[in-house]
Amino acid sequence: MRKIMFLGAAIAALGFIMPAAAQQPIIIKFSHVVAPNTPKGLASQKFAELAAKYTDGKVKVEVYPNSQLYKDKEELEALQLGAVQMLAPSLSKFGPIGVKEFEVFDLPYILPDLASLRKVTDGPLGKKLFSLLEKKGITGLAYWDNGFKEMSANKKLIAPEDYKGLKFRIQSSKVLEAQFRSLGAIPQVMAFSEVYQALQTGVVDGQENTPSNMYTQKMHEVQKYTTLTNHGYIGYAVIANKKFWDGLPADVRGQLEKAMKEATEYGNGQSAKENTEALEEMRKSGKTELITLTKEQDDAMRKAMLPVYKDVGSRVGKDLINEFLKEEGRPTID
Ligand code: LMR
């Protein structure tokens, strides 16, 4: 009798425990390197909220900002190993894992505005670039914007000659390397989390970044001059570990895709505003002088950087560059 009672109690306890265990949420660790109050920080937070809502709590997205978990290069390795499930690295950071085609986005002045960019990312080329990630065990989910880059240093950067001999921090992209070499500057690859200190201590003289990234890392406090060149773009590929993503129950994956679509619309809808506000804060701080180039000065910068298209044509692929330009409705190169 006692045995039966014990068994009954055990079964009841199991019945109590089992559904609770079945309700354990699927955890998605989403690591990134920027501050929470940036375009990427806000979009990833929005995705976490929507993922919880649409999966009815079945998925919990944990966002780790500010390189808390991993720095640039490490985070891609961590994703491939499955230590984290999602990331949104800048498009300039895929060269080191052998997908150099994304560096087409780094070509100087290739994107006149965000509308041209959208034509590329939403079109066949955006899909084709994502397909290149599959063989690396990565699934591409969306393209998120940050915005256009400015140049900064402790010296006024107006003419191409002003860059000569200065050391600039770059992201890990050979196109960005070629861009600074075209100006006679010395590019140095460095993780995003190390840039502020490198600028402060003079390890590098300058850098290029969006106002939101500069402001939230306080780079403007250690750079006397910021030139509004808008010569390049920083955007992100939101990516997942392919094995993890493919292994999700189909209904959950669908709900996450819906959350991603809405988070993307939200993030991309306000990234320009976030950068404008950050630039305004930089101006108000009085710590960096904002320099606007005249048309002639701007033309001189464009001319100086034009050879980059030829220099890196074989790396990125001339056909790919032309496909990119065509989708934007711009003249191709030969
Ligand atoms: C950088 O390294 O400068 C940026 O890619 C950081 C980021 O993720 O926006």
pLDDT tens-place string over residues 153-189: 999 999 999 999 999 999 999 999 999 999 999 999 9
Check if 121 has its Cβ closer than 6 Å to any atom of ligand 1: no
CB-based burial label for 101 (10 Å; 0-12, 13-18, 19+):
buried
Dihedral angle over CA of 255, 259, 264, 267, nearest 10:
-170
Check if 67 has its Cβ closer than 6 Å to any atom of ligand 1: no
Q: Are the C-beta atoms of 326 and 332 separated by less than 8 Å? A: yes
Q: How many CB atoms lie within 10 A of CB 12?
A: 10
Q: How many CB atoms lie within 10 A of CB 154?
A: 15
For 289-326, letters b (16+ CB in 10 Å) and e give: ebbebeeebbebbeebbeebbebbbeebbbebbbbbbe
Q: Are the C-beta atoms of 179 and 229 separated by less than 8 Å? A: no
CB-based burial label for 137 (10 Å; 0-12, 13-18, 19+):
middle
CA distances from residue 188 to 6, 171, 172, 177, 261 in whole angstroms, order as listed? 69, 8, 9, 8, 35
Residues contacting 326, CB < 8 A, separation 6+: 332
For the entire predicted model, the pTM comes to: 0.92
pLDDT tens-place string over residues 241-266: 999 999 999 999 999 999 999 999 99
Q: How many CB atoms lie within 10 A of CB 168?
A: 23
How many angstroms is it from 46 CA to the middle of ligand 1?
Answer: 19
CA-based radius of gyration for the chain: 23
Alpha carbon distance 48, 42 (integer Å): 10
Q: How many CB atoms lie within 10 A of CB 18?
A: 10
Domain regions of the chain by residue span? 2-327
Check if 275 has its Cβ closer than 6 Å to any atom of ligand 1: no
Pick among 3.40.190.170, 3.40.640.10, 3.30.420.40, 3.40.30.10: CATH of 2-327: 3.40.190.170
Check if 210 has its Cβ closer than 6 Å to any atom of ligand 1: no
List the pLDDT tens digit at each of the 334 positions of the chain: 455 555 545 544 444 444 544 579 999 999 999 999 999 999 999 999 999 999 999 999 999 999 999 999 899 999 999 999 999 999 999 999 999 999 999 999 999 999 999 999 999 999 999 999 999 999 999 999 999 999 999 999 999 999 999 999 999 999 999 999 999 999 999 999 999 999 999 999 999 999 999 999 999 999 999 999 999 999 999 999 999 999 999 999 999 999 999 999 999 999 999 999 999 999 999 999 999 999 999 999 999 999 999 988 889 999 999 999 998 888 898 8
Q: Taking Cα atoms as reference points, which of 31, 30, 26, 29 lies closest to residue 52?
A: 26
Residues contacting 311, CB < 8 A, separation 6+: 178, 182
How many angstroms is it from 90 CA to the middle of ligand 1?
Answer: 6
Alpha carbon distance 105, 116 (integer Å): 12
Alpha carbon distance 220, 80 (integer Å): 34
Dihedral angle over CA of 315, 316, 319, 321, nearest 10:
-130
